[in-house]
Every structure is written in structure tokens, then in C-alpha cells.
A and B are shown apart, each in its own frame.
Chain A
Amino acid sequence: MSKTQTVAMMPGAEVILKVMEAEGVDVIFGYPGGAVLPIYDALFKNNSIRHILVRHEQAAVHAAEGYARSTGKVGVVLVTSGPGATNAVTGLTDALMDSVPIVCLTGQVPSHLIGTDAFQEADTSGITRPCTKYNYLVKKSDRLQANIEEAFHVARSGRPGPVVLDLPKDVQMLDAPFIEHKSAEPLAQRYKPVTSPQKAVIKEAVKMMKQAKKPVIYGGGGLINSGPRASDALHKLVNQTGWPTTLTLMGLGALPADDSHFLGMLGMHGTYQANLAMHNCDFMLNLGARFDDRVTGRLSEFAPFSKKIHADIDPSSINKVVNVDLGVIGDVGETIDALLAEMEVQSFSPNAKAMTRWWEQIEGWRSRDCLAFEQAGPIIKPQKSIQRLYEMTKDRDVYVTTEVGQHQMWAAQYFGFHKPNRWMTSGGLGTMGYGLPAAVGVQIAHPEATVIDISGEASFLMNMQELSTIAQYNLPVKIFILNNEWMGMVRQWQELVHGKRYSESYSSSLPDFVKLADTFGMKGLRASAADDLDDVIAEMLATDGPVIADIRVEKEENCFPMIPSGAAHHEMILGPEDETNKSISEEGKVLV
């Protein structure tokens, strides 16, 4: 550090806020308790950082995730020791699985009491070690600033993820040094993930691309994490190659849904054309996706005829489950830019004849219209409700969060995303209760936008205490519940895999959602028949404040298409008529 920097001494809690200000933090999602009172006291006097009081620590993390995914910034969480920290664990795991940058400050009992089973003591660093990218137990005041700065750096760089800072109460109270960084130079860091792909590898990649006759681009959440620039670059790449492109659940929005090259989402509930293109391709360009089991289906038959390139910022993702012919380590946005530049050098042009034939084949699959459904009669088809929601919000600045279940998959299938960062869903962990608090975080970050939580009645109940947060800050979140009175996705699996034995999957004793809205001072709406649907959506959108819309949908509708667990891409079930021919193998039943 240079000599122009002065060291100021101040209580640890103030250092914490100062460092966060310097990191650009403008909002914290948290819940107070004994072990973080010094930080809350410092917040009381602070004017630049806004604190959003949630109603459960799990929700604090999901809200921070919503904030982070919709802005590209680090989401910040503040919780107390013991139960505060353990309540945050689900959120941290969710953020780890979906690579969301989070810094979570947890209070800890004073240093001298650690290890004594003190009141509200938990081994937070031990408990959170497997569910964080990194964590710190800050024992020395003179390391406080460096630890926090590194935490932000680790959370946001490389493959992003959650970082926990466990802060004993004495460290928050004792004076600690704070150094204002006057120089604009970034701090020397020991964690230095590679972001620029190697030139030689890019050269090799373009050589392989030139050989492709049946190519497919398979993009994932890395495209979103890399920033909007990566989506722009993908757009260019798709236009220059004319290649068919599919996106994972986490990648939706990286290519506009109405782009003619877009085949829709792939995987278990992906489109027929996307999955068959994956199965039959001779060349696969994986951009920031991780060959998740929801995507690959049975591994032994995954894209069996293809050469594969995998671009990922995380070297440990490459060759983890699928062996590839070439791994490209680096930021996926930078990687696409490098590919585009190298394509010019090598005067790449797509194989026109082969592409015509390949597209013909793909259009054949596409013409099966695998997402077709029939809205006949008064009962609202869940697919219809999402379709109408999409169509009626097209001219708005809209952000969508979801819970987990059938409604989540229908949202992914029928809601079109045209920009990155507009779609927040729990992909890796599949956390019911994610969507409502995530919507809180999104709405805080984008006060003017239309933020919709597409929810299921069962998931909604998992974090419905956040209605109180929504009411307190008057967040105009629209809660769109696809109420089928079932844990629909569980019911679907029981129907298909467990002989229709519907064990404990009925959503009994539901609240009256309209009255529930009323008790929180919100508007409650209900659509019971297909004719009500548009009116309810219109009224919901016209309402300035928060709304709960109870959309009574077909109770036993299944989500199709579907690759049964343990099956391969070309063994999809397209719809109920198809389902009887394809039974689920014994090996498949073991899988989740």
C-alpha cells in the first residue's frame, strides 16, 4: 500500500459499513439479533446503505439473490448468530448451486465464548463451509477490512457464489483499522480466476466449428452471469453462424425468445426440437452451461454423435460429467468475442448446404408444436394463464421470479424472455419458497418495473411471511399463483412413476388467498374460469400496489413435454397420449 493512505481507527461495525460503501453496496437484506446489534446500531446512523427488513433469514438470502440476478451486482445479507445463520443456509446453498454472488454477514458470539455452547452460538463457518464459495471467521480486527474486501472479490469474480463472513460481536465493537483506498488500482488478490481464454484454444475451437454440419449452440447461466455483453455477443454469434440455439433454464433471456434460431429451452421439460437437435447434432458449442442432469438425461446416450466444446469460467466444470473434445476456460462473454474475432481471421462461413438440410430437419421437429395445448371449456389451463400473462405484459419492463414445480416449468416454456437478468428461478437447488422473497429483491432493485412471482399454492406457503415485507415497503409485487390444489410436480411424478398413489401431495387447508391479501392490505383477485383470466390479469397489472392473484387452474394437468428420468433426449414423452407407450425404467426410478 502506498504512503498516501491514512489509517483511521473506528469500531469494527463502522469499518464493515465503510468497506461495503466502497464496494458499492446500496442495500442490505437482513434481520437483527443480539450478535449483530453493533452493526444495526451503525446502520441506524448510516445514510447511504438501505436496510430491508425481511421476515425470515432464508428470505433475506433469496431477496439478495433476486437483487443480484436482476442487477449483476453482489447481493448483501445481514443476519444474527445461531438461528439467524442456520436459517440462511438454504438460501446460501441455492446461491451456490446457481452461482449467484452473495456476501452474507453473520453475527457470532464474542471470540472468548466461541466453543462454549454459548447462547445462540452455532459453528457457522463449519455449517456453511460446504454451501459457500468461501467463508471467513473474522477473529482479528486488523484483518476485518481485508477479509470483507476479499469476500466481495471472491463472491463476484470467476464463477460467482455466496461468501459468508462470520463476525464475532467483539470484533464488531472493538476499534479496527480502516484504510481509505485513494488509488484507483485494484487490490492485489490471491484469488485470480482465469477470465481470458487462451488464443491457441480459440484457434482450435474455430477450426472445429468449421467442420460442423449439424451444429447446436447450448447456452447456460454463465451467459447471464457474464453480464449483458455476453448476450449481445451470443446474438452476434448466432446471426453470423445461423446456428440453432437452445438455452438452459438458467440461460433464458440470453437470446430473445422470438429469435428464429432459438429452439426453446432444452432438458427434462424442454422442447422437442431443442432436445432432438441436441441428440442428433454433430457439433455442440456449450457456452456457460454445466451439463446438468436435468439437461443431459441418460448420460450414456447424451448427444452421442457430436464433437463437443465446453466454454466455462470454472475449470472444474469441464469434464465433470460429460467428456468434451475441447475445454475453453474463461469468461463466456470474452470467449464469444474471441471466437467472433478468430472466425474472421479464419474466414469462417457456415456450411450452407449442410445448414439448409439441418434446419429442414429441425423445422420438422419444430412443426410437431410440442407446446401446443387446448383451452376448451371453462377450466383455466395453466399453460394458458402463463401465455396470457406473457402476452399482456409484453410492452412492460417485466421481471419474473418463480417458485418450484409445474408452474415454474410452464413459466419457462410459455413466458418469453427477451433480455438477460429478467428471469429469476431456483434451478440447481429447486427451492420452493424462492420466488416471493426473490421478487422482493428484484422490486427493490427496480422500483418502477413490473415484478411478477409466478407461484404455486404450495410453494407460496413456504415463504408467505414475506407478504409482510412487501406490505411494509409497499412493493408492487404481483403474486400470480397457479393454484391447482396439488404439489403438482410431485403429483405428476406419483402419477407417472408411482402408480397414481398420491401420497401426501394434496394441498389441503389452503388459505383464502383473496382474504389473505386483504389482511396485509393488498389487493386480492381470483380467476375461477377461463373467461375471468384476462380481466384478472388486466386488473392485477393496473393496480399500483402489491396483488395476490389466485388463478384456479386445471388440477391434474401434467407438464409436458417430458424426458422421463433416466431416459435420453430422443425418448421424450410429448403429451398424455404418448405417456402410456413409454414407461420409466427401474434405473430411472432411482433418479430424482
Chain B
Amino acid sequence: MLDTTQIERHTLSVLVDNEPGVLARVVGLFSGRGYNIESLTVSEVDATRQLSRISVVTSGTPMVIEQIKQLLDKLVPTHSVQDLTVGPAHVERELALIKIVCIGDKRVESLRVADSFRARTLDSSLNSFVFEVTGNSSKITAFIELMNSLGDIEVARTGVCGMTRGNNIDLVG
């Protein structure tokens, strides 16, 4: 039996036909039932076959997570649903752009921090930078917190995308 008490965070990867209304159906499935979406990214990944991949991070009891996977799988345009969190080992990445406005010592320090996080500088002015940083979500959160202590910041994050390690390929079945 499933344990219904514990909240778990899962990253799901869903391959769907890229047709109108698909994203609305996916989002509606969550909102209509009060399920969480922590992040969601979507983009076409195969132009000839018109397939999109939706990566969604959600949290809930094991029963709810199971329910979400089944409901996603049931959608007419869905080809596959992978639960990266319970499957074989996987990688997850997120990209963030962070603009920081600061001067003097703080400006120097922000560059040093960015360097240690392997962030790239996309834009600079006399009192600002735009950094690009990729990594797992906790690394990005840590980076944002540090930047926040050094100046005023603006943040844009893509949300998580991920896939399994190894030679297994998720194809249209």
C-alpha cells in the first residue's frame, strides 16, 4: 500500500503532440484538482513530428503523484510520462538570468561569486550585470540568495528540465 502521509517532490517528463490546447489541459489537470506545479517548462523538441516535451516539477503525497502521472498519461495527445525521480538515475538542470544592480566593493564581490558559480556575464553596465547560471535548482537558489545580499536583483528562471542517464531514449510509442 502507498503511504499517504509524506509529501514528495517529483520531476516528470511528458512527451506530447504539439497541438493547441495541450498545455492548457495539462495545467488545468493540476489547477482543477488543487495539485502543485513548482515549475513547468515546455518547448517543441521534434519539429517534423510536432512533439513537445513538458517538464514539470510537482509535489504531493505518493498517492497524488501516482494520480498525476495516470491523469497525464490518459490525455489523448500524451505519448509518454516519465517520472525521473523514481526512474533510473537522471540529470536535472535549470537556467537562470540574474540582473544585479550594485557599485563599488559589492560589484567586485558579485563578479567573484559569479565566477565561483561558473556564471557567464551576458551584459554589464557601470552599475549592473546580467549573469547566466545553470545547474540544479538548489545551486541556482544559492546563487540568487548571494546576489540578493549584494544588491537589487531581478531574476528569470526557466524551471527544471531533465532526462534519464544512460542510453535509454524516450521515443514516440
Q: Which residues of A are in contact with B by a Cβ distance under 8 Å?
A: 125-126, 129-130, 133-135, 137, 139, 150, 154, 158, 190-191, 314-316, 318-320, 323, 325
A97 → chain B, closest Cβ, in Å?
Answer: 13
CA distance A391 to B154 in the complex (A): 76
With A133-B76, A134-B75 known, 20 other A-B pairs at CB within 8 A are: A125-B21, A129-B24, A129-B28, A135-B21, A137-B20, A139-B20, A154-B76, A158-B74, A190-B76, A315-B74, A316-B67, A316-B70, A316-B71, A316-B74, A318-B70, A319-B2, A319-B66, A319-B67, A320-B67, A323-B4
B28 → chain A, closest Cβ, in Å?
Answer: 6
B76–A130 touching, CB < 8 Å: no
Does B73 belong to the interface (CB within 8 Å)? yes
B56 → chain A, closest Cβ, in Å?
Answer: 16
**Using Cβ atoms and an 8 Å threshold, which residues of chain A touch B45?**
none
Q: Chain B 77-93, CB within 8 Å of chain A: the 1/0 string?
A: 10100000000000000
CA distance A158 to B75 in the complex (A): 12
B66–A190 touching, CB < 8 Å: no
**Using Cβ atoms and an 8 Å threshold, which residues of chain A touch B67?**
316, 319-320
B28–A314 touching, CB < 8 Å: no
- List of 8 A-B pairs having minimum Cβ-Cβ separation, nearest first: A316-B70, A134-B76, A323-B1, A315-B70, A191-B76, A316-B71, A130-B32, A316-B74
Q: Chain B 17-30, CB within 8 Å of chain A: the 1/0 string?
A: 10011001100100
B106 → chain A, closest Cβ, in Å?
Answer: 47
**Using Cβ atoms and an 8 Å threshold, which residues of chain B touch A323?**
1-2, 4, 63
A503 → chain B, closest Cβ, in Å?
Answer: 30
**Using Cβ atoms and an 8 Å threshold, which residues of chain B touch A134?**
75-76
**Using Cβ atoms and an 8 Å threshold, which residues of chain B touch A320?**
63, 67
CA distance A323 to B2 in the complex (A): 7
A126–B24 touching, CB < 8 Å: yes
B63–A129 touching, CB < 8 Å: no
CA distance A62 to B11 in the complex (A): 41
A302 → chain B, closest Cβ, in Å?
Answer: 14
CA distance A416 to B32 in the complex (A): 38
B89 → chain A, closest Cβ, in Å?
Answer: 26
B88 → chain A, closest Cβ, in Å?
Answer: 22
Of A126, A316, A323, A325, the most chain B CB neighbours within 10 A belong to A316
CA distance A137 to B21 in the complex (A): 9
Q: Which residue of B lies closest to A150 (CB)?
A: B76
B21–A319 touching, CB < 8 Å: no
CA distance A314 to B74 in the complex (A): 8
- Assuming the contacts A125-B21, A137-B21, asked whether A319 and B63 have C-beta atoms less than 8 A apart, the reply is yes
CA distance A137 to B76 in the complex (A): 14
**Using Cβ atoms and an 8 Å threshold, which residues of chain B touch A126?**
24
Q: Which residue of B lies closest to A133 (CB)?
A: B76
CA distance A416 to B73 in the complex (A): 39
CA distance A137 to B15 in the complex (A): 21
B77–A190 touching, CB < 8 Å: yes
CA distance A217 to B13 in the complex (A): 38
CA distance A191 to B19 in the complex (A): 15
CA distance A133 to B77 in the complex (A): 12
CA distance A131 to B24 in the complex (A): 13
CA distance A154 to B1 in the complex (A): 32
CA distance A165 to B32 in the complex (A): 22
**Using Cβ atoms and an 8 Å threshold, which residues of chain B touch A319?**
2, 63, 66-67
**Using Cβ atoms and an 8 Å threshold, which residues of chain A touch B24?**
126, 129
**Using Cβ atoms and an 8 Å threshold, which residues of chain B touch A318?**
70
CA distance A404 to B133 in the complex (A): 59
**Using Cβ atoms and an 8 Å threshold, which residues of chain B touch A315?**
70, 73-74
Q: List 14 A-B pairs, Cβ < 8 Å.
A: A129-B21, A134-B76, A135-B21, A139-B20, A150-B76, A190-B17, A190-B76, A190-B77, A316-B71, A316-B73, A318-B70, A319-B2, A320-B67, A323-B63
**Using Cβ atoms and an 8 Å threshold, which residues of chain A touch B73?**
315-316
A27 → chain B, closest Cβ, in Å?
Answer: 26
B1–A129 touching, CB < 8 Å: no
Q: Chain B 25-64, CB within 8 Å of chain A: the 1/0 string?
A: 1001000100000000000000000000000000000010
**Using Cβ atoms and an 8 Å threshold, which residues of chain B touch A191?**
76
**Using Cβ atoms and an 8 Å threshold, which residues of chain A touch B21?**
125, 129, 135, 137
**Using Cβ atoms and an 8 Å threshold, which residues of chain A touch B20?**
125, 137, 139
